[in-house]
A and B are shown apart, each in its own frame.
Chain A
Amino acid sequence: MLKNHPTIQHIVGRAGWYLVTFFVAITINFFLPRLGDANPVDTIMANVGAGLDSASAREKEEAYLKEFGLVEVDAGGKITRDAQGKPVRSSLASQFINYLSMSLRGDLGGSILQHPKRVSEIIKAALPWTLALQLPTIVFGWLLGNVLGALAAYKRGVFDKVMYPLALLASAIPAFCFGMLLVYVLGIRLEWFPAVGGYDDGLTPEMSWAFFQSASYYYVLPFLSVFLIVVGGQAIGMRSMCIYELGTDYVKYAKLLGIDESKIVFYMFRNAMLPQLTGLALALGTMVGGALITEMIFSYPGLGMAVLTAIQGNDYPLITGSTLLVTVCVLLANFSVDVMVGFLDPRIAAARQTSK
């Protein structure tokens, strides 16, 4: 019975779609870095034997080659070498299969730059920071932006005249510019908040009051810089959505009937909310990208910073590991929005029923 419920069907359908998207994303994640001249295989291969004559360095390089399946290995676990003693490369297909099976097991390989550390360890340490920064900014920014936008559309007048240009400006300021401005003015000049980092130097991340206090103090500037931009963008979208709704027949009719104004606003808000929610799903990727750059400006210990250090050090396992994780997070967030839409949108239930 429940299985045939239209909302459930919608959710299952979406889940299947996201699964396909995930496989496309993981394929892109493997092949794109290998398109150019600075691909990971060359980078790692070039280091083998290049000035690394010490036995331990050689061992380290061989471990990488084997771990990522970059070279052919014989039955005894030894790297196959050609006449010149160079390791023989394995085919792209077998590399891809190796990458897929590793990633699906949650193993993203070892980091090159921070050697004995695993990529998954580094990401596990960075992920909470990114989630703590981005989830609240996007959720609360979306809510506040929508309320402000609806108010501006309904009230018009002075409120709209002040809010609208401000929102336009806020949404036009690139995240990294706004971040740098906050770092410079509030962090370095006025010294109101710490300019860079995630917590005080002397502390280690743990569940203690002192750490929490320090972390929330460092949280203020990065939070503000992402939050205000999200609020501005959402307010503009909601404003034009509500102006559209104001001109519709049902609002005019309700007004003629003399229905309570707050009730009309509620109807309007509910109708304009849904496109805003689907709009959020589409904008998530851009928002997350902007927030990642913001993390770098603030040297915030999240995934953005991990990507930056990885790029600077040509640490391919860390680059692809973190980009894969960011993509997975965005897909999960999108899926949750879709699930919400499935519950909120009466048309989904109706469409499924009529198509039967």
Chain B
Amino acid sequence: MKLLKSLLKSPFFVLGLSLLVLTVLLAVLGPLLLRVDVNTRVGLAYMPPSSSHWLGTDHLGMDMISLLIAGLRSSLYVGFLAGSVATVLGTLVGLYGGYKGGLIDDVLTVGTNLFLVIPSLIVLILLSASIENGRSLSLIALIIGCTTWTWSARAVRAQASSLRNRDHVALARINGYGTFGIVLLQIMPYLLSYIFMVFILQMATGILSEASLSMLGLGPYDSVSLGKILNEAKTNEALTDGAWWAFAPAMVLITVIVFALYIINTSLEGVFNPRLRK
């Protein structure tokens, strides 16, 4: 409760949370309030915003509002799924290595650092380029989750290893708790706030990674995403034709989501880390 109070006092947190809630509301309520149809042509290519189509049409004559809402839904979905996968993987590896120490820890750390150095975009490109059929939104999210978890493992490991010699952990060990019992019940509760921050950042990473892949033409075949809207606009000369409505709103949406997640993360850090509190 006290935590929530001090969070709500931080203007950054309030701003970030409201922006995030707004985009989620738009994604959830959008299809209920507006007619979202991404399969029918409603007009000519690149029609400017008008009263019937508030943000005009894209290069195929589809309604931009519909595309944006569908794209926003996919991007949030990818962020959530990829962020969850990455956080769970990273947390498990980090907690286990940090608690166990010794050889297992060394092996896990070396492995983590290895994949931390190899750019995840490169791994993503190589994997996605090899999947031609069935590159669905969910599959892309899973792939992103499995390639971006490394830094959260590193971050969680550092925290977990500082807790492994606490008295209550030793007590649990004496009482015959298994490794997973100790890791999940004795160590993880201390790191929940930290893991939540990791999840917020992993979500942002997931959304950005999907958009980057889509910019490369390696996006999902089954859904519209914000990155795909940008890629289509770029490859179909929206920039040179001056059709700003075909790309600017998607750009704003991605930036708003990522910005919201970033400032939520930094304000959480400010509250959880007393040294930064002022």
Contact = CB atoms under 8 A, between A and B. Distances in A.
Interface of A: 17-18, 20-21, 24-25, 28-29, 32-39, 168-169, 171-174, 176-177, 180-181, 183-184, 188-189, 195, 236, 240, 243-244, 247, 281-282, 284-286, 288-290, 292-293, 296-297, 307-308, 311-312, 319-320, 323, 326-327, 330-331, 334
B174 interface: no
Contacts of B263: 168, 172
A183 B238 CA distance: 11
A32 B123 contact: yes
A297 B234 contact: yes
Interface in B226-276: 230, 234, 239-240, 242, 244, 247-248, 251, 254-255, 258-259, 262-263, 266, 269, 275-276
B117 A21 contact: yes
Nearest to B135: A36
A177 B117 contact: no
Contact of B119 (A177, A236, A330): A330
B29 interface: no
B120 A35 contact: no
Given A293-B212, A319-B129, A330-B118, 7 more contacts: A21-B117, A21-B118, A36-B129, A37-B132, A176-B230, A243-B278, A323-B126
A142 B151 CA distance: 20
A320 B129 CA distance: 10
Interface string B117-160: 11111110111011111100000000000000001000000000
A173 to B, nearest CB: 5
Size category of the B interface is: 35 or more
A282 to B, nearest CB: 6
Interface stretch (B88-96, B100-108, B213-221): B213-221
Interface of B: 12, 110, 114, 116-123, 125-127, 129-134, 151, 204, 208, 211-212, 215-218, 230, 234, 239-240, 242, 244, 247-248, 251, 254-255, 258-259, 262-263, 266, 269, 275-276, 278
Q: Which of B119, B151, B204, B218 has the most chain A CB atoms inside 10 A of its CB?
A: B119
Contact of A174 (B130, B211, B218): B211
B183 to A, nearest CB: 25
B142 to A, nearest CB: 13
Q: Give the 6 A-B residue pairs with the shortest CB-CB distance, closest first.
A: A36-B130, A289-B121, A38-B132, A285-B119, A172-B259, A36-B131
